[in-house]
Amino acid sequence: MNGSHQEGAGGPAPEEAHMLEERLRRALADAAGTIAPGPWPAGRVLGRAARRRRNRLVAVWLPALGAAAAVAVAAVLAGAPRGQDGPSPALAAPAPRTHPATSPSPPVVWPAVRVVAPGSAFGIGDGGRMRVTAGERCVDESDGTGWDCRDETNADGNQPPESVNVQSYAYAGGMRYLLVYRGTHVPARMGVTFGGRVRPATVVTLAVHPGWVGGYLDVPSSTAVQDSFDSPGVTVWDARGRVIASMAEMPPRPGR
């Protein structure tokens, strides 16, 4: 051997291996330099991490809440007395409230307007009679005193226009009320009020409106105590249901 180095069967010489490694490093560096990295998705990564944390919290709390609810229900059931067939009626749904039935007020039956001939007598109940003209109204109470006539021309001006007044007479069966409306309207209904309850009176008029209209109402003694009706209320309506005159009910006098 002349002393020069010869490659053995185990591989290249160290100098050649170093050169191969250097060329490979340079090739990898050149290839890496041509690759442009994409933007870092920080927002998506952080959001995904937050959702995972929330999911873990919910997964932990749900079993705890379920256990607490089960304990509460068990405590209620344990404290409720039980019969042979289950919970006592105290746990049953409350019965619906019922209101006591109230009797409705009886309907008011309004009598028809009574159109009469001037001066013609007609019955007003319990033997009583009435007759009217354009200027007066006469009443016979069948008590033997005969006809009692009243001037309705209002010559003295005691009753103002668009007003109503009432007179009362006691008879064997109760109390009779005589009404007079004075005004330009034509009444269709008259009502007398006792203790807040309206009782219908019969309207009496002539075919030609004389400027006043009468009415009458009998209240039997079996219906109410007549002495309490010293000053009843009176209301007059026209055919359209409008109040055209009224007088307020007054309370009974003391001691009556």
Report which listed range, 86-100, 115-129, 150-164, 223-237, is most confident: 115-129
Structure tokens at 221: 């003694």
Q: Maximum distance among all alpha carbons in the chain?
A: 185
Give the CA dihedral 166, 171, 175, 178, nearest 10 degrees. -20
pTM of the model as a whole: 0.56
Give per-residue pLDDT as tens, 216-228: 999 887 665 444 5
Residue 138 near residue 132 (C-beta atoms within 8 A): yes
- Distances in Å between the Cα of 90 and the Cα atoms of 74, 79, 80, 83, 94 are 17, 12, 8, 11, 9
% of the chain with per-residue pLDDT over 70: 61
CA distance 110 to 227: 25
Look at residue 83 and tell me whether its pLDDT is greater than 50. Answer: no
CA distance 130 to 192: 19
Name the least confident of 77-91, 105-119, 158-172, 198-212. 77-91
Residue 216 near residue 167 (C-beta atoms within 8 A): no
Helices (H), the chain: 14-33, 42-79
pLDDT band, very low/low/confident/very high, at 156 (cuts 50, 70, 90): confident
Structure tokens at 229: 């009706």
Name the least confident of 59-73, 119-133, 146-160, 226-240. 59-73
CA distance 108 to 214: 20
pLDDT for the residue 215: 97
Give the count of beta carbons closer than 10 Å to the beta carbon of residue 106: 7
